[in-house]
Structure 1
Amino acid sequence: MPYIDSQAISLLLSILSSGSTASRTAFVPPPPYLALAATLAVHPTTTTRSKPEEYRQASNSALQLLKLINKLVGPLGGGFGTAFVFDRYANLRNGGRYAADGDASKSGGISHMQMDPLNLDLAQGNSLWSHAEDFWQVVGWALNCSVLHPKRWTRWYLFLQFMCDILEDDWREREKQFKATPANSTKSNKSCSVLTESLIFNYISTTSSYTGRDRRILKAIFADGSQTSINEYREVFNNELKELLKDTDQMSGRKGDVNIDEGAYGDYLDGADYEEEEELDAIPKPSGGPDIAEPSRAKRQRRSTRKKAEANAIFSEPGDEAPISAKYDKLDHLGSLQSLTIRQRLLHLLSCVSNTIPEHFMSLDKLYSFYVEFIRHLPLPTFQLLVSPSVLTHFPPACQTTLCEMLLFNLLENAAPGSSEKYLSQNKLERCFLPFASNTNSMIDNAKVSILLESLIRLLAANGLLLARPTLTAAVEEGIGHRAEKAQNDLKRSHNKKLTEEFGWVWLIESGERMVYLVNKIIPKEPAREYIVLEP
């Protein structure tokens, strides 16, 4: 490990924090240094497995430096598009990591005199950009860590939070440039090059995919720590989960006196890694003595058996044993709220790209069909967090409404009529959604329908598009009764299914009560119509 000077990083931070914009730009490090800073922010040897305090300080300072550059000069001025390139396979194709000076402006960066890679292991073969296949492997592995490995997730969360910042800032800046560009006089459309050169589109178009680009991206965003997800999005760095040993000298950790002649072995026979070489049953017992063999066997579980049991506990799919807490009452199915926030920000970014340049990515309808596919079967608590407009706020109301509508189209019974209206309105809500139940008798599905309808009511009311009137009240009450009646028709109930139905029933009832309260107490009432009486 080369020496990392955190004082030099701190000095650069102080220089960037003061002075004019021109002087700040002059002190922006070249792309190789920015790439190194990103590696320092997440590499296990400088974070979770860092022994010298100097390395940990350098890791935090490096992340602070990247944030400050983005804040002061922005992603384009900072040259992040040139620096943050995943080159695990690019080196084999192009023969080099960084673009020449003449190509720096093309990728959105600034021109630098020094573009050669740094002569450091963390800047070359052991860097983040050389280890990961693409951006989506980083996303998938980091979000797997949010479910399985909290210590690593602490660092990956900070990195993904910063990456979401620069991806969003880069896209917004380029979108402004695109809108300000006049249309070509000979063509009816504008050139999309400014958008296709964005960092997020670069990560989309350079996806390392074996089963389809679009599906790989979505599977990374919804990585849940399952065995399938772990197999597809493995750890980025070698031995990443290995932790720093407090004392490398194992002998110094032994306690107790050792005297073989007197049968005193200290604590050498108490370790979990001790494995017997002989069958305990073959050891003769002293006549009339206590039975000491069986308790020893029960106490010493072999390492392989223990690890296998731990692996099964971690990677078993929810529902294999089907306890209610494992499948439906699991609050951290996709990790903490921090993890869900990152997922939602990435989903919104994809939505922006699809809405603006669908011909280069995919249509908005197809993208939201993917969203429905991955969200539809989530456990109720996680499902509610993703579709509710009051918990995670990184989806604008229009996107949230579209997501809820498409989920309802997938969940509602066939009796629900269609609509030619492009946007959601109160009439469409009352006629096509509120009075209807799920297309199955499942209590869980009917609870999800109720949660989606509640979210749509909140979204319309928050934007002043909903008024309390008799038709709204009637549609809400009819739907609540219809969903409750349909959910009770499922007569084939095992013990575990009864538990899940009891759980779903609570969510169904509480959601219905909230809708009634919103309509009767919160949403403003429709003004009474004035009638003109004509005298005879």
Structure 2
Amino acid sequence: MAASGSSSPLSFYTANDSHAEQSTTPSSPARAKPCPYRQARKLPRELKEHCQIFLEEQLYTCAINLLNSTLGAGLSRRTPTGKAVPVPPPSQLALLNTLIVHPLHTTRADEPEHLDVSGLALGYLRNLLAIVGPVNADLRAAFRFCSVSRWGRRPGHAGHGSDSDMSDGEADRHHDRLRGRMANEASVWSRGQDLWTTVGWAFNTATLHPHRWRYWRVWLEYMLDVLEADWAERERLDGEAHEAHGKTGDEPLASRRQSMILMYLDQPENRQPGFKRILKALFADGGGLSSSSFSEVFEKEPRGPRKGSKKRKREQTLDLDNDKFGDYFDDASTSSGISEPPTPQKPRDARREASFGCSNPGLAESVALRLRFFRLLSEATFVLRKRSELNQLYRDFAAAIKVLPLHMFSLLVTQRENPLLPETHVTLTKELLHLLLPSNYKDPRKADPEGEAMGSLTMPMLEHCYVASPANTVGIEDNAKLSLVVENAIQLLWSCDMVVYTESFAEAVERGIKAREAKAKKKRTGRARADAGDTLAQDVLASSGKRMRVLVQALEASAGMQH
């Protein structure tokens, strides 16, 4: 019996340290389905040139309104004509994406109309994604990170070749290139270095700079929507190819090998062992290590808008006897009437808030986004990479969760509406149990050989292997974490209607609650005083135990009603 119900028709292989187990995957066999998107065509030359002029002259509202009108043409008709939708070149889409989050049009906007640009750009890109789709719109080409402009060298650059020296594709990109800093060196695609560096900084702002997180959260949500839609569409295209070949041979992967998530995984900056750098970005919390690893994307990004100029009337008379020095002591910025934008103060307890996640709204909001990234990584790794890489991804992800501060740990482990598939949640739960339980805990293969071979989480495993043990340390925080994972494991089976009440199971749950509470009361060797978070951990441990007792009582009542 599958641990997570029958929602997933496929299994994958993952490892649990020294022994291997079969588990479930978020991937599913590709099926040939109708294309959910409209076909795309290049924006007509005249319209493209108009948009290019608007964007280069920073008339962003005019450009976006023009693009929206071309996108919406004909969509209001009751019977779609099937006519292809005009789509601007990648260089223009890349700039619109930058406008979503750039400080000059968000937190540092001087004029109200500058603030409108961010929302208008996001609205157009979302409409484009919904109508044309990520593949037809060629968002893969638009949303590429690079250190210099990918659209061609700047005018006047030495060695700039003529059009006759270029291929057709290079010539198109050359003509589509946008001038201006916002489209080139100041864009998110140049400043961000790569996706994971950008993601790491974005998650840092959730704790350190809430005024910036407001916009980075929207950008992350949009990018995740793009990545997920891109993967789903390419899976459909591979399914189409499979159907075309009569479903013979292995399932095609050609389209998914061109997916955006794989493009970001294979960027040169990611050439580090395993997934360590990516996971470091997904767990960035604004602490010292995260801040040093992922610095601000845009120049002086945390600063707010410029204050209105308060140019004082200068004394033009030099009268030393009456302390009138004219403008002699005016510095350059004051003399010119320009004031530096203020820098919002970081909260004094920023690091503490990063450590205790649920006291920080931004950090709590970021949990679902972190898990969505992991789900994409898991699926792409399963389909396109070696099995050993998938095993390592799950082990590293579970190990990173295990050492998180308690509140952040609880947000990741106990989310009720979880972006992860139940199957993936089961695998991570078993990995965490393996990390938190003593080394002599009973091997699940002895409690339920068949279930363990399938990668399942079953009642025999819970009763005989997991629920009755304390943590492998005397630390109260580790025992609280183990209690949360055990509670979550019970609820996972409950949600799949796989929990059956027995007296022996109820006794095992009660033994575990008492064992963890008793072990948490032991003093660590040489510890002079209680840790600052002990009171919090004690509350979490006690509350989790109460909830498990309620679950057992509900199971008993349900079993009594059935009899």
Class of the TM-score when normalised by the shorter of the 2 chains: 0.7 to 0.9
User: TM-score, normalised to structure 2's length?
Assistant: 0.74
Q: Give per-residue Cα distances to partners, 1:245-273, cap 9 Å, x unaligned.
A: 22234537x9xxxx9978999xxx9xxxx
Is 1:367 matched up with 2:400?
no
C-alpha spacing 1:22/1:490, structure 2 compared with 1 (3 Å):
farther
Identity of aligned residues (%): 30
Number of the residue aligned with 1:399: 424
Separation in structure 1 between the aligned mates of residue 81 and residue 286 of structure 2, nearest angstrom: 46
Q: After TM superposition, give the deviation of residue 151 of structure 1 in Å.
A: 1.3
Count of residue pairs the alignment pairs up: 466
C-alpha spacing 1:213/1:25, structure 2 compared with 1 (3 Å):
farther
Q: Does the CA contact (< 8 Å) of 1:389 and 1:459 recur in 2?
A: no
Q: After TM superposition, give the deviation of residue 471 of structure 1 in Å.
A: 2.4
Number of the residue aligned with 1:472: 505
Number of the residue aligned with 1:161: 221
Number of the residue aligned with 1:353: 380
Q: Does the CA contact (< 8 Å) of 2:287 and 2:354 recur in 1?
A: no
Q: Give per-residue Cα distances to partners, 1:225-262, cap 9 Å, x unaligned.
A: 1232222212112222232222234537x9xxxx9978
Number of the residue aligned with 1:16: 71
Is 1:417 matched up with 2:472?
no
Number of the residue aligned with 1:39: 98
Q: Does the CA contact (< 8 Å) of 1:467 and 1:525 recur in 2?
A: no
Number of the residue aligned with 1:173: 233
Number of the residue aligned with 2:487: 454
Q: After TM superposition, give the deviation of residue 334 of structure 1 in Å.
A: 9.2
Letter in 1 for 2:281: A
Is 1:135 matched up with 2:195?
yes
Is 1:225 matched up with 2:286?
yes
C-alpha spacing 1:435/1:505, structure 2 compared with 1 (3 Å):
same
Separation in structure 2 between the aligned mates of residue 16 and residue 240 of structure 1, nearest angstrom: 33
Q: After TM superposition, give the deviation of residue 472 of structure 1 in Å.
A: 1.8
C-alpha spacing 1:25/1:69, structure 2 compared with 1 (3 Å):
farther
Q: After TM superposition, give the deviation of residue 91 of structure 1 in Å.
A: 4.8
Number of the residue aligned with 1:275: none
Separation in structure 1 between the aligned mates of residue 62 and residue 152 of structure 2, nearest angstrom: 37
SS of the residue corresponding to residue 27 of structure 1 reads strand
Q: After TM superposition, give the deviation of residue 93 of structure 1 in Å.
A: 12
Letter in 1 for 2:458: S
Q: Does the CA contact (< 8 Å) of 1:224 and 1:334 recur in 2?
A: no
Q: Give per-residue Cα distances to partners, 1:149-195, cap 9 Å, x unaligned.
A: 11111111111110000101111121233344439899953442211
C-alpha spacing 1:3/1:92, structure 2 compared with 1 (3 Å):
closer
Q: Does the CA contact (< 8 Å) of 1:468 and 1:520 recur in 2?
A: no
Separation in structure 2 between the aligned mates of residue 459 and residue 354 of structure 1, nearest angstrom: 24
Q: Does the CA contact (< 8 Å) of 2:99 and 2:105 recur in 1?
A: yes
SS of the residue corresponding to residue 145 of structure 2 reads coil
Q: After TM superposition, give the deviation of residue 399 of structure 1 in Å.
A: 1.2
Structure 1 residues 34-113: aligned runs within 5 Å: 34-88=93-147, 91=150
| Structure of higher CA gyration radius | 1
C-alpha spacing 1:491/1:120, structure 2 compared with 1 (3 Å):
closer
Number of the residue aligned with 1:246: 307
Q: After TM superposition, give the deviation of residue 135 of structure 1 in Å.
A: 0.8
Q: After TM superposition, give the deviation of residue 350 of structure 1 in Å.
A: 0.8
Letter in 2 for 1:369: R
Letter in 1 for 2:488: S
C-alpha spacing 1:463/1:182, structure 2 compared with 1 (3 Å):
same
Separation in structure 1 between the aligned mates of residue 354 and residue 182 of structure 2, nearest angstrom: 40
Q: Give per-residue Cα distances to partners, 1:1-44, cap 9 Å, x unaligned.
A: 83324134124324423524667743222211111110111111
Letter in 1 for 2:205: C
C-alpha spacing 1:227/1:432, structure 2 compared with 1 (3 Å):
same
Structure 1 residues 117-516: aligned runs within 5 Å: 117-182=177-242, 189-209=250-270, 211-212=272-273, 214-251=275-312, 313=348, 327=355, 329-332=356-359, 335-359=362-386, 363-390=389-416, 392-420=417-445, 421=452, 422-490=455-523, 492=525, 494=527, 496-497=529-530, 499-516=532-549
Is 1:6 matched up with 2:61?
yes
Query: Of the two structures, which has the highest relative contact order with CA contacts closer than 8 Å and spacing of 6 or more?
Result: 2
C-alpha spacing 1:358/1:526, structure 2 compared with 1 (3 Å):
farther
Q: Give per-residue Cα distances to partners, 1:434-462, cap 9 Å, x unaligned.
A: 11110001111011001001111111101
Separation in structure 2 between the aligned mates of residue 236 and residue 155 of structure 1, nearest angstrom: 13
Separation in structure 2 between the aligned mates of residue 125 and residue 523 of structure 1, nearest angstrom: 64
Structure 1, unaligned stretches of length 5 or more?
Answer: 105-111, 270-306, 319-324, 531-536
Letter in 2 for 1:488: K
Separation in structure 1 between the aligned mates of residue 510 and residue 73 of structure 2, nearest angstrom: 61
Separation in structure 1 between the aligned mates of residue 531 and residue 184 of structure 2, nearest angstrom: 56
SS of the residue corresponding to residue 136 of structure 1 reads helix
More deviation in 19-28 or 127-136?
19-28
Separation in structure 2 between the aligned mates of residue 103 and residue 405 of structure 1, nearest angstrom: 50
Q: Does the CA contact (< 8 Å) of 1:207 and 1:213 recur in 2?
A: no
More deviation in 331-340 or 70-79?
331-340
Letter in 1 for 2:123: Q
C-alpha spacing 1:206/1:461, structure 2 compared with 1 (3 Å):
same
C-alpha spacing 1:113/1:3, structure 2 compared with 1 (3 Å):
closer
Separation in structure 1 between the aligned mates of residue 126 and residue 167 of structure 2, nearest angstrom: 24
